[in-house]
Amino acid sequence: MTSATGSACGSTDRAARSPRCAHDRGKKVSLCGEMASEAAAVPLLLGMGLDTFSVSNETLPAIGRQLRLQAELPDQAKLRQAALEVLELDIAAEVRRYVEQHFPQVPSAAL
């Protein structure tokens, strides 16, 4: 659902709409902390619309590889669809299985 201005900010799906609302206002969305350093989370976080990740020096190479891999996907809509689908899952194990099935190039040890 979008507002009269075409913004997604009227949506009831808070996790999915927050980055879109920020982008509608010309703002970037960043994430710092452990989740940003999880290589398995990269496709989902990109699909949610995150722009930048603050990661530790130790995880920088793995996250960089994932960012490059996901940028090379011919269908970027797959990332957005994946983000919406995992928001419906109840437990972390389900999210892990989803990532393993839909993004086999992502290390499964993470998440």
pTM: 0.77
Q: Is residue 89 part of a domain?
A: yes
Please check whether residue 40 lies inside any domain of the structure: yes
DSSP letters of 41-94? GHHHHHHHT--EEE--TTTHHHHHHHHHHHHT-S-THHHHHHHHHHTT--SHHH
Q: Is residue 74 part of a domain?
A: yes
Residue ranges making up the domain that contains 51: 29-102
Asked if 36 and 46 count as a contact pair (C-beta separation under 8 A), the reply is no
Residue with tokens 């809509």: 77
pLDDT tens for residues 16-52? Answer: 567 888 888 899 999 988 889 988 899 999 999 999 9
